Structure 1
């Protein structure tokens, strides 16, 4: 009886340890099963009724992350060029940016959309008011036609400044360079590729 109980306990410990390892977001995975993790620490600005700042740790598993710009385009519900006109701290850990859509390359876009991101207003990982972007978006699961999120966390967030593209995600930048920039540094027509 002791031998059976010991084997059962050891088996439970091994299975439990294996389960914990499978849930570990920092484990090594192959490219085919990779997800993109971020654990930003964000400081929340004190409100009028609160005289102290607090720190909120936000963990996000971007399970919609991809390894190529082709997959980013394929998986996006909406691809738009637009400018951030306003931004609010929607909750302690989420920012809502209002975007005036200049043109769309995939999907049907209202003239004005709302994009939600994890973070705080003014942090490096969220859209910046007054800036123009090329955005690869997914539809929020609410019933509103104008609410979206950026695919793959920051993978689908590309800033445009004086007709130059600035990628937030190094993997997408590398794939863009491989696919669209020749050895002479001349970029092929990325916009016409998006429009196909």
Structure 2
């Protein structure tokens, strides 16, 4: 297999891991983000106990370096994916790693909503659900999109680390064919491809942000 074929395969595997882990994390991470926003001191339903517990959980999972988390959740990965190594299996720890990260980012984005707009919605008799969907969410769209872009970039880096433990992708190629086989060309090419991916994601994110802002 030529270097081009190897790099193309690794790039596809990396994009596959990043896409699905990001998609799942965004969906699941939005739930704790909303709960944290609502139960905060300045939220619609202040609750110190609920906020405190969820806040600790998010912080604990955010504290684990991805490489350690990937090892810790191997039993969970086996249950969900049926195996502990491979590109599909790597999506499990990547998602677990991403959920608390994006939950915190989304919480911060939602809580930056102008308090005056929220009070105005309350005065018009808007329900909590309407305030969440039509005020918090609508006002935070640019910030939420910016958070997703940040998550994708982090996932590109994490997916590269996943390659060191059999996750496949560009990280796996860099380790096996670059570092272990002493072929500097693979290290250079994989690094360039990862940089290009990050730049493209950031560029597209900037364009979308300007349109939504």
Superposition TM-score tier, normalisation by shorter sequence: under 0.3
Tell me the TM-score normalized by structure 2: 0.23
More strand by share: 1
Tell me the TM-score normalized by structure 1: 0.25
More helix by share: 2
